[in-house]
């Protein structure tokens, strides 16, 4: 039983100013206590309610570190939710903005239930932020400004979850079984089930929207027994757990490396974890940068999900997610999934422009390719895999800062993002409706400008600029901007999907000429969000993903135990 105490009276109390309009602050009464919120203004200049920094779990400190989160207790007085709470500990951040007491969520809504309108129930969109499971947050000043989506009739929830070692350290022991950050996400979904009705949300209509590491998270929630029936739809953008990298029961070697960096040197795993529990969280966050194996941010994922051993705890993962999707053991809800056109060009640029890194990769490709492109170096065929990938993407010559950029960026894009999404679409589409896309619209702002002050292309995170306001990259667009049409189209499609599991809406003037047909095996359809129009196309990067299928095949088994060649499809 989920141990929130349900209050007898849940009365909405909104404070009005003398003019009869909403004041800058107002108070909402929930089962947990009173919450003071404020209002913000959407891109169309409509006011909406904002409740930010609401704690959903007890601070995961001391003996609670590395373990599943515990629900927050009722509070007395009025909780001030008028500004963002702290971010979770992470490298490259202002220490004044982070805290281990970071398990906070934000709720944005256009209308609250009242005596006149007590039965408001709008679909809920829950955003899981990107950041490689070690950085970023759900704050409005980070990747999650709500002003675009708040012109749609939805309730939006964004949140923080534990990152890096604090969220994903795994010793395969009772003290640190792993997946704590994913269990934070589960607790958010349970919080929403209990409390979102007081914010005008429909607890029976929840859509998970994940990007990058958040997309990996969303794909995991589809197979996790802890997440079952906690949401009804999923949007999985630029990431998936169904890639070539595999999931184990622990990450002992990474744990030992982390421990050495903070002088937890006892060889006993138990004592090592005990020491890490008392290590200052800033040390754990700031030493993460020394765990990367090949330049900054490589590999893309350091701390990964694990298949948990049973120590009597509720387990987030009990088998490899690829097996779950392959065998139909997942929540068969409607899905949207896709990629950006150019995805992960950033690491390619950093390597090719750094003489040391470029020469290291060039001369020792078989050694560093498994690190860069996320496959096991201990595989019997690892060296052959490296040779085939280099030949297919980079040819036979030496790496060159300009000539190799296209091939290396495509190799990073396919290994980190594209192939995993491709495999997810093919596996899931056997059991449920899947809408597949490629986002190719290039606006004036981007996360990568190269080789000068213009965008390289449409890279990882660039499509998020049309769903959320990201102040560090772009100002908020308005109706006078050329990008506004894309914002309207994308937010309307995603809102339509949140309502009914279908992004099409013929009655909407922005969508009436778009017919997004789901992926099928007869016609491998995807929607192209292009520069000037939106069109249906077929067979996204079939040749490139075919290489990965051959190098990392699936082995389908029918119920009679015999291999079925017809099922050995390119997932």
Burial of 386 (0-12, 13-18, 19+ CB in 10 A): buried
20-29, 158-167, 323-332, 509-518: segment of lowest average pLDDT:
20-29
- Mark 169-182 as b/e (b = at least 16 C-beta within 10 Å): bbbbbebbbbbbbb
* Mean pLDDT, rounded, for 68-79: 97
Q: Which residues contact 166 (CB under 8 A, 6 or more apart)?
A: 60, 65, 66, 88, 89, 100, 180, 181, 281, 284, 285
3-state secondary structure of 35: strand
Phi (first) and psi of residue 240, to 5 degrees? -165, 155
Residue % of the chain over a pLDDT of 70:
93
Ramachandran region, residue 461 (left: φ > 0; alpha: ψ -120 to 50; beta: rest): left
Residues pairing with 455 in the sheet: 449
Residue 271's pLDDT is what? 96
In this prediction, residue 203 has a pLDDT band, given cuts at 50, 70 and 90, of: very high
In this prediction, residue 22 has a pLDDT band, given cuts at 50, 70 and 90, of: very low
Residue 87's pLDDT is what? 96
* Mean pLDDT, rounded, for 168-194: 97
Distance separating alpha carbons of residues 465 and 496, to the nearest angstrom:
19
Distance separating alpha carbons of residues 144 and 465, to the nearest angstrom:
10
Q: What is the mean pLDDT of the chain?
A: 91
Token couple for 541: 């990067």
Distance separating alpha carbons of residues 48 and 210, to the nearest angstrom:
23
3-state secondary structure of 463: helix
Residue % of the chain over a pLDDT of 90:
86
- Residue 514: is its pLDDT beyond 50? yes
> What pTM does this model have?
0.93
| Tens of pLDDT, residues 543-553 | 999 999 999 99
- Residue 215: is its pLDDT beyond 70? yes
Residue 31's pLDDT is what? 96
- Residue 18: is its pLDDT beyond 60? no
Domains in the chain: ranges and CATH: 25-276+304-319 (3.40.50.1820), 334-541 (3.40.50.1820)
3-state secondary structure of 125: strand
- Residue 166: is its pLDDT beyond 50? yes
| Tens of pLDDT, residues 360-399 | 999 999 999 999 999 999 888 999 999 999 999 999 899 9
| Tens of pLDDT, residues 219-268 | 999 999 999 999 999 999 999 999 999 899 989 999 999 999 999 999 99
* Mean pLDDT, rounded, for 127-144: 93
Phi (first) and psi of residue 54, to 5 degrees? -75, 125
Alpha helices, H only, 311-434: 321-326, 345-353, 355-363, 365-373, 382-394, 405-413, 419-428
Radius of gyration of the chain (CA): 23
Token couple for 155: 């309730």
Among residues 265, 99, 253, 252, the alpha carbon closest in space to that of 166 is found at 99
| Tens of pLDDT, residues 516-565 | 999 998 899 999 999 989 999 999 999 999 999 999 998 643 333 333 33
Distance separating alpha carbons of residues 48 and 111, to the nearest angstrom:
7
């Amino acid at each position: 039983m989920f141990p929130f105490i349900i209050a007898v009276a849940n009365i909405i109390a909104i404070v009005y100013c003398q003019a009869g309009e909403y004041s800058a602050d107002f108070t909402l009464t929930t089962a947990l206590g009173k919450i003071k919120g404020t209002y913000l203004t959407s891109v169309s200049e409509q006011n909406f309610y904002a409740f930010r920094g609401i704690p959903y779990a007890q601070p995961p400190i001391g003996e609670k570190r590395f373990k599943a989160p515990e629900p927050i207790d009722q509070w007395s007085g009025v909780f001030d939710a008028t500004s963002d709470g702290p971010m979770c500990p992470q490298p490259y951040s202002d220490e004044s903005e982070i805290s281990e007491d970071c398990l906070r969520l934000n709720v944005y809504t256009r209308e609250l239930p009242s005596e006149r309108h007590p039965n408001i129930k709008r679909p809920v969109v829950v955003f899981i932020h990107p950041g490689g499971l070690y950085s970023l947050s759900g704050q409005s000043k980070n990747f999650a400004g709500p002003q675009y989506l708040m012109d749609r009739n939805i309730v939006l929830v964004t949140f923080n979850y534990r990152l890096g070692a604090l969220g994903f350290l795994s010793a395969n022991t009772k003290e640190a079984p792993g997946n704590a950050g994913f269990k934070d996400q589960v607790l958010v979904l349970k919080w929403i089930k209990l409390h979102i009705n007081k914010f005008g949300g429909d607890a029976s209509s929840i859509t998970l929207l994940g990007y990058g590491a958040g997309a990996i998270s969303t794909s995991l929630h589809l197979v996790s027994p802890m997440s079952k029936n906690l949401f009804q739809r999923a949007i999985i953008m630029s990431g998936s757990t169904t890639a070539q990298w595999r999931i184990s029961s622990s990450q002992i070697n990474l744990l030992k490396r982390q421990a050495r960096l903070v002088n937890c040197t006892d060889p006993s795993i138990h004592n090592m974890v005990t020491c890490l529990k008392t290590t200052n969280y800033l040390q754990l966050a700031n030493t993460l940068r020394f765990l990367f194996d090949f330049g900054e941010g490589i590999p893309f994922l350091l701390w990964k999900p694990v298949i948990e051993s049973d120590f009597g705890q509720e387990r987030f993962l009990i088998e490899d997610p690829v097996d779950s999707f392959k065998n139909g053991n997942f929540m068969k809800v409607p899905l949207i999934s896709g990629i950006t056109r150019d995805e992960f060009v950033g690491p390619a640029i950093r390597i090719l422009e750094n003489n040391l890194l470029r020469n290291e990769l060039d001369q020792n490709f078989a050694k560093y390719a498994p690190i860069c492109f996320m496959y096991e170096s201990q595989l019997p065929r690892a060296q052959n895999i490296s040779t085939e990938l280099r030949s297919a993407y980079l040819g036979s010559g030496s790496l060159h800062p300009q000539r190799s950029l296209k091939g290396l960026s495509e190799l990073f894009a396919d290994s980190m993002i594209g192939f995993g999404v491709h495999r997810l679409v093919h596996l899931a589409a056997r059991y449920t409706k899947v809408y597949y896309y490629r986002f190719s619209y290039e606006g004036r702002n981007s996360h990568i400008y190269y080789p000068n002050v213009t965008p390289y292309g449409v890279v990882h995170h660039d499509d998020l600029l049309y769903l959320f306001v990201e102040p560090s990259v772009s100002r908020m667009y308005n109706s006078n901007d050329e990008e506004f049409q894309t914002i309207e189209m994308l937010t309307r499609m995603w809102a339509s999907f949140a309502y009914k599991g279908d992004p099409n809406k013929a009655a909407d003037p922005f969508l009436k000429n778009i017919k997004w047909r789901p992926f099928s095996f007869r016609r491998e359809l995807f929607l192209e969000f292009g520069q000037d129009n939106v069109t249906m196309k077929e067979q996204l990067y079939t040749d490139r993903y075919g290489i990965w299928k051959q190098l990392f095949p699936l082995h389908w088994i029918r119920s009679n135990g015999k291999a079925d060649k017809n099922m050995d499809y390119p997932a």
